[in-house]
Amino acid sequence: MKLFDHHLESIYEGLLHSDKFYRKKLIVFNSASFCGYTEQLKQFQDIFEQNSVIPIAVPTNEFGGQEPGDDFEIAQYYQHNFGVTFPVTKKIDLNHDFFKSYGKPDWNFNKYVFNEDHKFIKRFGSDVTPLEALRHD
């Protein structure tokens, strides 16, 4: 099963489709605004600006209630505080098909790396930086 078979919906762009990310490697991560790992958003944005990999933030609120806002508050917070311009999905919970297929995270900022054909490669924990995950996929 490929990533976009899971119906992830962007806050601003609607349902995400693979044709928008044609032949691009992806790194999807469960995000939270008030987590100690939130600073990783800067590194995700740098990766996006280098045009090498597309990060996709998937906000969740299951760990410590660290993502309490609604979808638009989340997107605004990411953009205002970290300059995020990469895709951010609507907030989902851990019962979403995405996590059922690729493994439920054990905390915020778990990273899920997908190849250029959008097939799953590997999941990394919160303490692995985005650059480290991309080096060790």
Degrees to nearest 5, angle at CA 99 with 7 and 96: 50
CA-CA distances (angstroms) from residue 5 to 16, 110, 123? Answer: 10, 20, 18
CA-CA distances (angstroms) from residue 6 to 24, 49, 103? Answer: 18, 26, 13
Instruction: Kindly list the catalytic residues.
Output: 35
The total number of residues shown for the chain amounts to: 137
- How do strand 53-59 and strand 25-31 relate by DSSP bridges? parallel
